[in-house]
Structure 1
Amino acid sequence: MRLHMKGISKSFYGVQVLGDIDFELLPGEVHALVGENGAGKSTLAKIISGVHRPDEGYMIVNGKPSTAHSTIDSQRMGISMIYQESFLVPEMSIAENVFLGSELRWLGLFSNMIKMKRETKSILRSLGMPLHPSTKIKDLSASEHHIVAIAKALSHKANILVMDEPTAALSDSERLRLFDMIRRFKEEGVGIVYITHRLKEIFEICDRVTVLRDGKKVLTKHVSDLTEKVLVRSMVGRELTQVYPPLSVPTGRELLRVDGLTRKPWFESVDFTLCEGEILGITGLAGSGTEGLAKTIFGEAKPDKGKVYWQKQPVRLTTPRQAIDTGFGYVNRDRIESGLFMEMNVYHNLTIAGLKKIHRHALVQEQQEYGKAIDAMIQLDIKARDPEQEIKFLSGGNQQKVMLGKWLVAESDLYILDEPTRGIDVASKSELYVLLHELVREGKGIIVISSDMSELIGLCNRVLVMHEGRLVDEMTHEQATQERILQAASGIRG
């Protein structure tokens, strides 16, 4: 099935986010759509999938003008979208979520749960995920959530798939399984629009690439005719000479110590230290316990045993409020579930964690609050119409920046960053890495939990690897290699 878009323009609240875009997708093609945060990628994808309607321009699907006014219309035309965030119902089962809105029925009347479970099991098996179709969504990990979202899109048997950051929450092994499936789709003639900030994936899986910058198309080329350097320059409009800044030298003064920390079934007997001037990386495959460890240190979960020391003093953190008062900040990998207040505006999201610091006689100093929000927006280059824009209207990458920005406003002393660059473009990543190094030079503590091995190797002074809830390896920056990290994460002894 062929997709052709011509002259597509779209504005929100008087701000143009897409201007005169032409885009083509051929049958059996993986066409990458890339650009900086706020470039218009997700908006164009949502026009394809029927979420938005263009202000100008038109779309032709398989030689016929598209009349899709909703996602249901698009699905009937054979178009399905896998969103960057998995919009699933926690209390429902995997099978119920996969077929939500398109339930299989007996005689057109009664829900055929047996068949839905059977088809869900088959799709999950093809994705390499042996999950039971009756499992509740609330009992799944973040990466498993994303796998179910992919399964939901595949259940529609689409001829055109739109994938918005499909590997952002996946481990390397899950990513490779997804790529195998994409190759099978190509052989079957399925066209795929592939949105990603992981540029190496473009050269691994995509045929052509279109670059958007500030809502305009600046490039469409075959991947074989491009280099990563040329692609980055097209995205950012300038030469990006260095992604990772030089490492700071740790002073050796202890900031944080975790001693025998246990929270079953997530992790057990975890010991490590974080020194002043150091960026500490922690990684592991899905289910290794990294996310649970972050939540426990931040007080979102109570440990079964073990202690946490901050500046050599024991701290007992049983609530996030206590952690914030101690000076801890936590960027959660799931910005919608527990990171941001989506109905609030940008500046309230930025300042909500630091209100105690901009507070006098129980009265919020609104002018000071607004000023600090502006400072954070400038520092992180958060692209928004203005500070009072509701955060739900920002791009995913800019929402991610707001999550970090609220801890800058709160003047945190320890930053626990779980997948902090998820959904962030390469230029913004580089700026974020510089900021993290500036923070450690100011004496702040930083823990980066990441599934991106190149990020860990380029950014961190030390890397800790977890496997099945235990720390299994520790390596310095000089010792860290992708092979060693992956071996340890997989439980393979060197």
Structure 2
Amino acid sequence: MLLQMRGISKSFYGVQVLDGIDFDLRPGEVHALVGENGAGKSTLAKLMSGVYRPDDGYMIVNGKPVSAYTPIEAQRMGISMIYQESCLVPEMSVAENVFLGSEPRWLGLFSNAMKMKRETKSILRSLGMPLHPNTKVKNLSMSEHHIVAIAKALSLKANIFVMDEPTASLSDAERIRLFAMIRRFKEEGVGIVYITHRLNEIFDICDRVTVLRDGKKVVTTSVTGLAENQLVKLMVGRELAQIFPPLSKPTDKELLRVENLTRKPWFENIDFRLNEGEILGITGLIGSGTEGLAKTIFGEVQPESGKVYWNREPILLKSPRQAIASGFGYVNRDRIESGLFMDMNVYHNLTIASLKKIHRYHLLKDQPEQDKALDAIIQLDIKARDPEQEIKFLSGGNQQKVMLGKWLVAESDLYILDEPTRGIDVASKSELYVLLHELVREGKGMIVISSDMSELIGLCNRILVMHEGRIVDEIAHEEASQERILQSAAGMHR
């Protein structure tokens, strides 16, 4: 065995997060670790990589018993971690981030910058990402951040990889390239612990799966012969009838119209409309312009040309503050950098977009806003000890729910959701999809930007596909398929 964990327990502030977990990893194996949000997956991964120390239990890594170690010691023992949130230094280049702490050196003394750039370029090429090694990380998109984080883990040449939601910000094309690399690692005897909420990935790439529920191990079993509905039942403890609700039927009433919107080099000449009762999907590969388009509609970035109409009236948003005042809500794909205030509690993160209502007439209206925040916590099933708990102590999936919840509290009229189900478990996804349809039926506008093709096909009335900054395909729900979306995203359709 490459890794054995026995009787692992961990608690935070009196809350038992892991309770007597046994786990092991074989050479040449991809071992999935799954469960609902808050089940303990990321905590167990951070114990493997030395970020946390167990309260009880022990580990054997590459034949050596350990009770606790640091992340640096974990790396020396052959463990490399890809975190759900990328931990990069914005002011450093891509190459400097990839080799931070493990720089190749001349004679053991001087940093070998040329070798560092050459190896970085090679790793990025294998991932299908033509980033220049000299590019500053602060100039990268969220998806590109994630690719660099993966490249950093690969540079360590470990024999144990712990991957926490590695495809959360990747398109299906990038995911396919990552899977090809994982298969090469398997052939070399490398073991991979794979945490994901995308169940299809488990059947694509994994050999065994361990299910956690409420901090306890439910089962470890072979993926072979396991059906998806069986896995879902093991995760949630009940049958889940269907994931996607029936599509609502759009009306002819126009809510949002975009005409010839351009912001080079991200996108140009973007035209589309969104009708009442419609969920509009937008997708594309990394660098296609989807993220920049969302930020421009929300007023975070100013367009060079073009117009945006809301309820048939032209609207010029010069800042997110104006967008919020106009009833727009935006779930950013980067919850740490742009979406949440990690040192604030759940309640304040939920009400941060409603401060104008709270401070109306210079009075702090605590109780109504607390009630709204509590409604959002219940409605989205946000697992928190209480509304006063700091959000940094929530799981990634529950943090994602808070990002959506703040726009529910603000009673937004247009929801721009960029990777809204990133890190959310299958049961919570199903509940979220129902909520999105309820909002649409109430007359809200809904734009879903996603790299998950099954989500787009199951959820959206129409799908717009972007390639190199332009909309290259518009697909009705009845005509949508993964093949067509992939072809269009790669610029190959028609």
TM-score (norm 1): 0.98
State yes or no: 1:16 paired with 2:29: no
Structure 1 equivalent of residue 158 of structure 2: 158
Structure 2 equivalent of residue 80 of structure 1: 80
* Deviation readout 1:311-370 (Å, 9 max, x if unpaired): 111111010000000000000011111111111111100000012223331122122222
- The answer to which of 174-183 and 295-304 deviates more is 174-183
Aligned ranges for residues 208-357 of structure 1 at < 5 Å?
208-357=208-357
- The letter of the residue matching 2:304 is D
Structure 1 equivalent of residue 455 of structure 2: 455
Distance 1:477 1:110 in 2: 57
- The letter of the residue matching 2:385 is R
- The letter of the residue matching 2:162 is V
Instruction: For residue 484 of structure 2, give the secondary structure of its aligned residue in structure 1.
Output: helix
Distance 1:367 1:381 in 2: 21
Q: Would you say the 8 A contact 1:282–1:463 is kept in 2? A: yes
Deviation at 1:139, TM superposition (A): 2.4
Q: Would you say the 8 A contact 1:276–1:443 is kept in 2? A: yes
Q: Would you say the 8 A contact 2:36–2:425 is kept in 1? A: yes
Aligned ranges for residues 57-96 of structure 1 at < 5 Å?
57-96=57-96
Structure 1 equivalent of residue 409 of structure 2: 409
Aligned ranges for residues 385-424 of structure 1 at < 5 Å?
385-424=385-424
Distance 1:307 1:103 in 2: 48
Moved segments of 4+, more than 3 Å: none
Deviation at 1:67, TM superposition (A): 4.7
Structure 1 equivalent of residue 45 of structure 2: 45
Instruction: For residue 478 of structure 2, give the secondary structure of its aligned residue in structure 1.
Output: coil
Aligned ranges for residues 353-392 of structure 1 at < 5 Å?
353-392=353-392
Q: Which runs of 5+ in 1 are unaligned?
A: none
Distance 1:392 1:76 in 2: 28
Q: Would you say the 8 A contact 2:57–2:67 is kept in 1? A: no
Structure 2 equivalent of residue 192 of structure 1: 192
Q: Would you say the 8 A contact 2:35–2:211 is kept in 1? A: yes
Aligned ranges for residues 166-177 of structure 1 at < 5 Å?
166-177=166-177
- The answer to which of 193-202 and 461-470 deviates more is 461-470
Structure 1 equivalent of residue 438 of structure 2: 438
Mark the CA change 1:20 to 1:68 in structure 2 (over 3 Å): closer, same or farther.
Answer: closer
Distance 1:122 1:284 in 2: 24
Q: Would you say the 8 A contact 2:417–2:448 is kept in 1? A: yes
Distance 1:126 1:326 in 2: 44
- The answer to which of 283-292 and 39-48 deviates more is 283-292
* Deviation readout 1:280-333 (Å, 9 max, x if unpaired): 111111111111110000000001111111111111101000000000000001
* Deviation readout 1:177-232 (Å, 9 max, x if unpaired): 11111111111111100000011111111000000011110010000031111000
Instruction: For residue 479 of structure 2, give the secondary structure of its aligned residue in structure 1.
Output: coil
Q: Would you say the 8 A contact 1:80–1:161 is kept in 2? A: yes
Structure 2 equivalent of residue 133 of structure 1: 133
Q: Would you say the 8 A contact 1:413–1:445 is kept in 2? A: yes
Q: Would you say the 8 A contact 1:99–1:116 is kept in 2? A: yes
* Deviation readout 1:417-474 (Å, 9 max, x if unpaired): 0110111110000000000010011111100011111111111111111111111111
Deviation at 1:68, TM superposition (A): 4.1
Instruction: For residue 225 of structure 1, give the secondary structure of its aligned residue in structure 2.
Output: coil
Aligned pair count reads 494
TM-score (norm 2): 0.98
Q: Would you say the 8 A contact 1:261–1:303 is kept in 2? A: yes
Distance 1:493 1:201 in 2: 25
Distance 2:493 2:248 in 1: 30
Deviation at 1:493, TM superposition (A): 3.1
Distance 2:96 2:349 in 1: 33
Distance 1:451 1:76 in 2: 34
Q: Would you say the 8 A contact 1:355–1:364 is kept in 2? A: no
- The answer to which of 423-432 and 248-257 deviates more is 248-257
Deviation at 1:140, TM superposition (A): 2.1
Identity of aligned residues (%): 81
Structure 1 equivalent of residue 429 of structure 2: 429
Q: Would you say the 8 A contact 1:68–1:74 is kept in 2? A: no
Distance 2:484 2:2 in 1: 43
Deviation at 1:277, TM superposition (A): 0.9
Distance 2:462 2:3 in 1: 47
* Deviation readout 1:241-273 (Å, 9 max, x if unpaired): 111111111121111111111111111111111
C-alpha RMSD of matched pairs (Å) = 1.2
Distance 1:138 1:87 in 2: 12
Distance 2:287 2:443 in 1: 32
Structure 1 equivalent of residue 479 of structure 2: 479
Instruction: For residue 224 of structure 2, give the secondary structure of its aligned residue in structure 1.
Output: helix
Distance 2:335 2:286 in 1: 18
- The answer to which of 54-63 and 136-145 deviates more is 136-145
Structure 1 equivalent of residue 104 of structure 2: 104
Mark the CA change 1:67 to 1:21 in structure 2 (over 3 Å): closer, same or farther.
Answer: closer
Deviation at 1:12, TM superposition (A): 0.4
- The answer to which of 473-482 and 118-127 deviates more is 118-127
Q: Which runs of 5+ in 2 are unaligned?
A: none
* Deviation readout 1:368-402 (Å, 9 max, x if unpaired): 22222111100100011111111111111101000
Distance 1:387 1:466 in 2: 39
- The letter of the residue matching 2:440 is V
Distance 1:178 1:195 in 2: 14
Distance 2:300 2:113 in 1: 36
- The letter of the residue matching 2:461 is N
Deviation at 1:102, TM superposition (A): 2.2
Distance 2:241 2:41 in 1: 25
Q: Would you say the 8 A contact 1:33–1:196 is kept in 2? A: yes
